[in-house]
Every structure is written in structure tokens, then in C-alpha cells.
Structure 1
Amino acid sequence: MIDFLEKMQKGSMTQQRAYRVIKQLDIFTKLSSYTPILCGTLPIGIDIEGSDLDIIMNVQRLDDFERQIHSLYHHHNEFRLKRTVIRGKEIVKANFIYQQLEFELFGQAQPVHQQYAYLHMMIEEALLKKIPYLKENVMTLKKQGYKTEPAFCKILGITGDPYTELIQFGISEGIIKNPYSE
């Protein structure tokens, strides 16, 4: 797996600032037992103003995770903790603001390299490298209010649910291996 957090240390000014803030919070050490991975738009350089920092984790015991997240981060601005079901899997999500950056901590009982956020990021990064004009077009749509995956799908002509179809596209194009066939 690529360590996008370490790559950000030498990236754009926004990436370097985010790297320092993440290190201040010490999230990756405090939550190391959950195999945290930084995902989303910032690590691959397609963030816009207001983009959050998504950190996904493999969490087998959601109750313990909820308590730990609350204990560590409840005192930060706009702290919210939510438990819900996404695509048939129970998840815990926490959001808060620290140093003017919005964080989203996401936990579910699934290896991080099989989670949608990670798969999307890997596919998007590969596509950005392969198709030079894609970044500018995605950024334009994002500034118009599109979420990242729907923006990629619109540009690439992918129809259906952008979150599942982008993964199917990545598999069919050989960008990623089917993570669920292992």
C-alpha cells in the first residue's frame, strides 16, 4: 500500500499543512491498532477549499472504537459521532474540526485496502496519471458542487451508482485487482 500521508510531507503547501496537523493530533499512533489510512482528495491533489481529511480504519469492535474516538476527540470543534449502516455494513463515523481542517474518521469491519474510500482513491490516482486533462475537469466539476466519484464518472461516461461503478471500472480496466476475490 502506498503511504499517502508520508508523500504529503513533501507535497503541496496544503498537503504539507495537513501532514503537520495530522501529526499534531497523533491519530495514526493513537489509533494504530485499526490500521488507519488517509484517503480522499487531499492525498492525490484534487482537493478544493473545504475538502476534509478522511481517515479510514478496520474496526472489528465498533463499541470500543466509539468510546475511544469520543474520548480522544470529543473536545474538538463541531465533534459529531454517528453509527449507521452503509452498503449493508455497520460503520462508525466521527467528524470534527482541528486547526481549521475538517476530519472524518471512518471505521468498519473490513480491511482498509477493501474499503470503498481506498479503492476509489487508488483508481482516481491511476486515472489522473494516465489522463492528463482529467484533473482540471474533475476540479471544475467539484467546484460546481459535484462529489469526487460522480465527477470522475461524468467525465468518463460511466453510468449507474458512481461509488460502485467506479470500482467496477477500475477492475475492468486493470487499474485494481478485484479486492473481494482474494
Structure 2
Amino acid sequence: MFDNINYLQSGSEKQNQAFKAIRNLGIMDSLCEYNPILCGTFPIGIDITDSDLDIIMEVYDFQRFEEKINNLYGDKEGFKIKRLLIRESSVVKANFIFEGFEFELFGEAQPVKTQNAYLHMIIENSLINLLPNIRAEVIKLKKQGLKTEPAFCKFLQLEGDDPYENLLEYGKNMGII
């Protein structure tokens, strides 16, 4: 379902606007060699005012990727790009603003459908479809300042120090991923 962004056209007004911004930017075509997938809150309809458009990609040559990102989006408002180490994995992250949306591009050296951002989204989407009250409660918790994964964990009363890992473990135990 999330392989292309056409589903956004039949969503909320904000999802429609996000679809248009992504299309106008041409990012899915310009970066198609990296198998881009929109992840996070917009695809599953739990975005709030300051939510960004997270696009994850499969990247092995970080230098080439950084050059391409710089060439394509270096002139966009608020552009910044950096390499990070997240959970012992090297990644490239770029941010910029286009048509009122903050974009976050995330490149990691593994297939997109095995990246944590994608797995979290699949788990969260399944929970939204299974539990009628969870969407409204998660949005309420997000508006109170919680990030998405901690909000889901709070609703589900999952214990532990790392809500990102806790949610993955929950999804595995429930047979979602």
C-alpha cells in the first residue's frame, strides 16, 4: 500500500497538500534509484501541525547520495545535511522546507522495508486498523509533546526504556511484522 504516494490523494486535506508538494518537488522520481518510501505520520493519518514528511531510502554510497541531495535540494529553505550514527548504523539525514512542508530525507544502508521507520509505520497502521480509539489518543498525546512511538507505547502501556524497540518487539510478538 505504501509503495507509492497515490493513496494520499484520497486522504485528508493535509494529505492531499502533502501529495502535491511531493509531486511538485519530483522527489520520488529524482531519487527512485534509492527506493524512496514516505513513512511516518502522514501515510497513516496521525500527523499534527508540525509533522514532517519523512522519506526513507536505501543508500550504500553515502558520498554520492550526499552530492545528489545537495545538487537537488541544496537551494531549498532551511537545507541541512549530515551523517549520523543511529543504533550503531551510519545514516545520512537531510532536512529542508518546500511548499510549507518540512522534508526529512533519511538514507540507510539496508532495504527500506527492513528499516525501523517503515516497520514502525506498518505496526502503527495495523494498530490503528485494529483498535478504534488509538488514532485519536495518539494524536492527543502527540499534541501534548510526545513523539509518535512513545505515544503508541503509552497507549498500549508498554514498559521499557526504549519505546522504539518496545514497539518493534510488540509488533513481532503480535505477528504484525
**Which TM-score bucket, shorter chain as reference?**
over 0.9
CA distance in 2, matches of 1:33, 1:3: 14
Structure 1 consecutive aligned stretches of length 4 or more whose deviation exceeds 4 Å: none
Counterpart for residue 179 of structure 1: none
CA distance in 2, matches of 1:51, 1:4: 20
The Cα offsets for residues 120-147 of structure 1, whole Å up to 9 and x where unpaired, read as: 0000000001000001110110000000
Counterpart for residue 8 of structure 1: 8
Q: In the TM superposition, what are the counterparts of 1:1-182 in structure 2 within 5 Å?
A: 2-3=2-3, 5-160=5-160, 161-176=162-177
Give the superposition deviation at 1:3: 2.9
Secondary structure of the equivalent of 2:43?
A: coil
Secondary structure of the equivalent of 1:9?
A: helix
The Cα offsets for residues 86-113 of structure 1, whole Å up to 9 and x where unpaired, read as: 0111000000000110000000101000
Q: Which amino acid in the other structure matches residue 69 of structure 2?
A: I
For the structure 1 residues 142 and 4, does the alpha-carbon distance in structure 2 shift closer, same or farther, using more than 3 Å as the test? farther
Secondary structure of the equivalent of 1:123?
A: helix
- In structure 1, runs of 5+ residues without a counterpart are 177-182
- In structure 2, runs of 5+ residues without a counterpart are none
Give the superposition deviation at 1:2: 3.2
Kept in 2, the 8 Å contact 1:91–1:107? The answer is yes
Give the superposition deviation at 1:4: 5.5
Kept in 1, the 8 Å contact 2:37–2:56? The answer is yes
Secondary structure of the equivalent of 1:44?
A: coil
**TM score, norm. by length of structure 2:** 0.97
Kept in 2, the 8 Å contact 1:4–1:43? The answer is no
Equivalences, count? 176
Q: Tell me the C-alpha RMSD between the 2 structures.
A: 0.9
Q: Which moved more, 1:153-162 or 1:118-127?
A: 153-162
**TM score, norm. by length of structure 1:** 0.95
For the structure 1 residues 4 and 50, does the alpha-carbon distance in structure 2 shift closer, same or farther, using more than 3 Å as the test? farther
Q: Which amino acid in the other structure matches residue 125 of structure 2?
A: E
Give the superposition deviation at 1:159: 1.6
Secondary structure of the equivalent of 2:166?
A: helix
CA distance in 2, matches of 1:2, 1:117: 12
